[in-house]
Structure 1
Amino acid sequence: MKTKLILFLSAVLLSAGALQAQANQECATTASLAYSDAKAKNYDAAYPRIQTLRKDCPTYSVVTYQYGERVLKHMLEKAPEGEKKAIAQDLIKLYEERLQHFPGKTKAGEVYGDIAQVMYDYKLGTPEEQYAAFDKAYQEDKDALNAKSLYTYFSLLVDLQDAGKRDLQDVFSQYDVVIAKVEEEENKMAEGLAKLIEKQEAGEQLTAKEEKMLNAYEINLKAYSTVRGSINAKLGQRADCDNLVPLYSKDFEANKSNVEWLKRAAGRLSGKDCTEDPLFFKLVEALHQAEPSAKSALYLGQLADAEGNASKALEYYNQSAELEKNPKDKARVYYRIADEYKRKGQFGQARNYYRKTLQALPSYGRAYLQIANMIAQSANNCGNTAFEKRAVYWLAADYAARAGRVDPSISSTANETAAAYRGRAPQRSDIFQQDMQGKTINIGCWIGESVRVPNL
């Protein structure tokens, strides 16, 4: 009896094993056909096989979901408007399936971000649900949202505030978070781009990989620059003095010992030049008493500026820059100091502080533009001959061009400025007559740099 039972169980196991092997073979065959079709962009043929894999072989390979995403995105592009929502819902389901079956090979934050963007693009769910989806992605991974998604994340919150479902303070708090992330990404891109530009300007040949990186940096900088402008436009008049002063006046007494609240309030009033309102003085005084810091020193500098005490203002600004840890804020203080020296005609000192600005925040293209402007203004004073004086404009043009490359938001102005300076520099006939092609000119006075004459 025992022998018969053992034989029966063995037969069952062998049968189950054979069925499993057959199922695995069928999955492998279907996957091979589906992946080949998808790789060849034959998406219509790949679609039914991908769907079969999702249903019958969901754990076969993460590649099913990678190609499945391509297939469904292609279908979304081609489908009539009335069919798009159903396909978008299936795409979201595919993302969820990948998270379920391959969590170790999936970045959850990025997938949540993809789901949120699909919900928004194809109007799935309410605005509250769409915003919650973006927030879920951001809370999972601060790097999950790309430039477009960061804007959508903020835009949805502003719309909810307009509909009376969020407070204005929620909008300001979210703005700080999103703008900080945008500027962080811009800074990363600008740092990489600046190194490659320096290599180019030194006459070194970029590798094929570096050329691709340079192109990617410039494309991404433009994308984040556009998004930054769109976010600021979306915030619009909500952040003007007429809204900010009543908002913070109302909450001042309850928060006058709250250092973080004082920093945010004073920072926003400072950023919007609401410094002449008595509230700003109250905030700065309270902040400096509670916690003397880079920010309170900056605001005291602004107050000294408003009173016409320029030397005292510079003293506070320098103190603020030395204490400041945030690169963006440090750069802004250095830029303010540089502007003050430039206004006084102290170009050497001004350049030093514009360079400090760029060390803190390489994407601060306006600093390059200001250096270009000072160099151009000094052309008549920084050369021994007429040719050398005009050659100064080549250097000014280089700085202006670099401004536009690291900060696409000012690229139009920067490129026009660079072109104008090149127009003032020696032309081909001048170079030929002076026999200066390819030679290096050392520029004296406060500039102390050199420029290479173009080859004819």
Structure 2
Amino acid sequence: MKKITYIIAGLFLVMGSAKVSAQMEMTKQDCTIEYNLYKGDVQGKNFAEAKKRLDNLMSNCPTLSVNIYKLGADIAENMIETGDKAGGIALFNKVYEQRVEKFPKGLGKVYSDWYSFLNEHGSSDSEIFHLLEKGYEADPSGMSAKNIYKYFDVTLEKNKNSNPQLVLDTYDNINDALETKSGVYQQRLSSLLAKEEAGATLGKRDAKSKRIAEGTLTNIGIISGGLDQKIDAFLSCDRLIPLYRRDFEANKSNAQWLKRSVSKMYHKECTSDPLYEELAEAYANAERTSSSLLFYAGILEKRGKTAEAQKMVLEATDLETDPTKKSKLLLQLAQDLSKKGQRSEARKRANEALQYNSSNGRAYLLIASMYASSANSCGTNEFQKRMVYVAALNKARRAASVDPSISSIAQKYINSYSSNIPTKQMGFAEGIKAGDSFRIGCWIGETVTVQLN
């Protein structure tokens, strides 16, 4: 009898071990079935069962799909909503820790979302600020606008007096990441807009891609504008020049440092200081790129070496092959020409910039501003002068439509120009009505459709 009992017990033990072994060695098909049931439980708000399946998937199928972890966040949120705050936070941390390990992509956004969840549910900055630091290190362009502001605010306040270079580096790193991301989405949006303008109707996939591109560019514009406001007072010539003078000798061959320093002094109009020329020349010697050559060409022209400067400008534009960067380079050249009063040549360069990136809204805004500033010299009467604002308005509207990242800036131009177009009374006096064609003279030489207030 005992022998039979031992045999039966042994069978149960073997069966139990086999069952555990099967659970531990789920096949791809088993994992897929479990995952689909898991998704159904979450979508059906059967969170108790979903939690069991989540534990199983994280243990036995951890690399099947990143959606395991995305849906796990919903389960954690439900636990908090139903009263188990500690359990929900613990689960969220567990899910995100494993997500980072198994799917280490898009970590700027992942760490940003992780911080947002814990911050929303009462965690203090001293406990979770490290998540923003990790998000910044991984990819600042993936962080939410609110969180990138938070990170930069803390960095600015903590280091503005003791380590201003760190503040500048942080600002530059964020902007470089945003610029790269913006370039990708600008090119994507350009191709989709070109399809629409050719008369094609976008399919569902392209329409979705367009919405994502527009939303992403809008968000980038919000972040960039906000950061510029925060750092504007910090970036004064009085602060930059002593800082760059102090660190110049140690960075004479550091191309990245030189590029950022020259760019800052250029955009903050600190170019009259001798240091600017030294930095530009050192940058051109350290790295022969389209950017360094263009800055140095400006120095050569200032020294009266016009022919040499023009040759260098051509070399700079030829050297750049990336269409988004080339568009930006040509726009910078156009801006320089505009400042010198060479509006016709500036417009030519701005239009060349648009050939390489038709979503470069700032090129349209430059043309718009040059048109508007020419209003008083491009007509013999009030009506003709005000029609120049119609041309400017068209360019500003175009900027807003092709480049959501500058929509708020473009809207200011639009509001200004809209208030200056001719009135119906002016049109009546000239025998012209809305919808008629009108040729604008002087250097603009453009035919527009009459708009009246």
- On whether the aligned pair clears a TM of 0.5, the verdict is yes
Say if 1:392 and 1:425, in contact at 8 Å, map to a contact too: no
Which residue in the other structure is 2:247 paired with? 251
Q: Where in structure 2 are the equivalents of 1:370-385 lying within 5 Å?
A: 370-372=366-368
- Aligned-residue sequence identity (percent) comes to 29
Shift of 1:308: 8.7
1:413 lines up with 2:432 in the alignment:
no
Choose 115-124 or 397-406, whichever is displaced more: 115-124
Which residue in the other structure is 1:240 paired with? 236
Which residue in the other structure is 1:351 paired with? 347
Choose the corresponding residue for 1:161, options 159, 163, 168. 159
Say if 1:113 and 1:149, in contact at 8 Å, map to a contact too: yes
Deviations 1:288-343 (A, max 9, x none): 55556544543444446767988876665555444456767654553343245556
Alpha-carbon spacing, 1:150–1:181, altered in 2? closer, same or farther (3 Å): farther
Choose 389-398 or 336-345, whichever is displaced more: 389-398
Shift of 1:255: 3.4
Q: Distance in 2 between matches of 1:402 and 1:144?
A: 28
Choose the corresponding residue for 2:131, options 133, 146, 171. 133
Deviations 1:421-456 (A, max 9, x none): 8x54999x99xx99998x9999999778777899xx
1:191 lines up with 2:192 in the alignment:
no
Say if 2:41 and 2:49, in contact at 8 Å, map to a contact too: no
Deviations 1:341-365 (A, max 9, x none): 5567765433220023334555532
Alpha-carbon spacing, 1:270–1:30, altered in 2? closer, same or farther (3 Å): closer
Say if 2:297 and 2:309, in contact at 8 Å, map to a contact too: yes
Q: Counterpart of 2:366 in structure 1: which amino acid?
A: Q
Which residue in the other structure is 2:97 paired with? 96
Shift of 1:59: 3.4
Shift of 1:224: 0.8
Deviations 1:266-301 (A, max 9, x none): 333223222222322333344455556544543444
1:49 lines up with 2:49 in the alignment:
yes
Choose 218-227 or 335-344, whichever is displaced more: 335-344
Alpha-carbon spacing, 1:194–1:398, altered in 2? closer, same or farther (3 Å): farther
Shift of 1:403: 0.6
Shift of 1:397: 4.1
Which residue in the other structure is 2:280 paired with? 284
Q: Where in structure 2 are the equivalents of 1:27-106 lying within 5 Å?
A: 35-36=39-40, 38-40=42-44, 42=45, 46-55=46-55, 58-59=58-59, 65-73=69-77, 87-98=88-99, 103=102
Which residue in the other structure is 1:215 paired with? 211
Shift of 1:221: 1.5
Q: Distance in 1 between matches of 2:254 and 2:94?
A: 45
Q: Distance in 2 between matches of 1:112 and 1:294?
A: 35
Q: Residue 193 of structure 2 aligns to a residue in which SS?
A: helix
Q: Distance in 2 between matches of 1:320 and 1:29?
A: 57
Q: Counterpart of 2:353 in structure 1: which amino acid?
A: T
Say if 2:140 and 2:148, in contact at 8 Å, map to a contact too: no
CA RMSD of aligned residues (A): 5.1
Q: Distance in 2 between matches of 1:132 and 1:353?
A: 45
Q: Distance in 2 between matches of 1:84 and 1:414?
A: 49
Alpha-carbon spacing, 1:121–1:376, altered in 2? closer, same or farther (3 Å): same
Which residue in the other structure is 2:227 paired with? 231
Q: Where in structure 2 are the equivalents of 1:304-383 lying within 5 Å?
A: 317-324=313-320, 330-339=326-335, 341-342=337-338, 347-360=343-356, 362-372=358-368
Shift of 1:141: 6.2
Say if 1:388 and 1:441, in contact at 8 Å, map to a contact too: no
Say if 2:324 and 2:357, in contact at 8 Å, map to a contact too: yes
Which residue in the other structure is 1:179 paired with? 175
Which residue in the other structure is 2:398 paired with? 402
Shift of 1:223: 0.9
Say if 2:327 and 2:353, in contact at 8 Å, map to a contact too: yes
Say if 1:298 and 1:316, in contact at 8 Å, map to a contact too: yes
Q: Residue 14 of structure 2 aligns to a residue in which SS?
A: helix
Q: Counterpart of 2:397 in structure 1: which amino acid?
A: A
Structure 1: unaligned runs, 5 residues or longer:
none
Choose the corresponding residue for 1:264, options 245, 252, 260. 260
Q: Distance in 2 between matches of 1:85 and 1:234?
A: 36
Q: Distance in 2 between matches of 1:210 and 1:365?
A: 21
Say if 1:375 and 1:447, in contact at 8 Å, map to a contact too: yes
Choose 265-274 or 141-150, whichever is displaced more: 141-150
Shift of 1:125: 6.2
Q: Counterpart of 1:250 in structure 2: which amino acid?
A: R
Choose 357-366 or 4-13, whichever is displaced more: 4-13
Which residue in the other structure is 1:13 paired with? 14
Q: Residue 238 of structure 1 aligns to a residue in which SS?
A: coil
Alpha-carbon spacing, 1:281–1:391, altered in 2? closer, same or farther (3 Å): closer
Alpha-carbon spacing, 1:276–1:32, altered in 2? closer, same or farther (3 Å): closer
Q: Counterpart of 1:133 in structure 2: which amino acid?
A: L
Shift of 1:180: 1.1
Q: Counterpart of 1:278 in structure 2: which amino acid?
A: P
Say if 2:378 and 2:442, in contact at 8 Å, map to a contact too: yes
Alpha-carbon spacing, 1:282–1:114, altered in 2? closer, same or farther (3 Å): same
Alpha-carbon spacing, 1:191–1:395, altered in 2? closer, same or farther (3 Å): farther
Q: Residue 233 of structure 2 aligns to a residue in which SS?
A: helix
How many residues align structurally? 430
Say if 2:390 and 2:418, in contact at 8 Å, map to a contact too: no
Alpha-carbon spacing, 1:66–1:249, altered in 2? closer, same or farther (3 Å): closer
Say if 1:259 and 1:291, in contact at 8 Å, map to a contact too: yes
Q: Counterpart of 1:178 in structure 2: which amino acid?
A: I
Shift of 1:264: 3.5
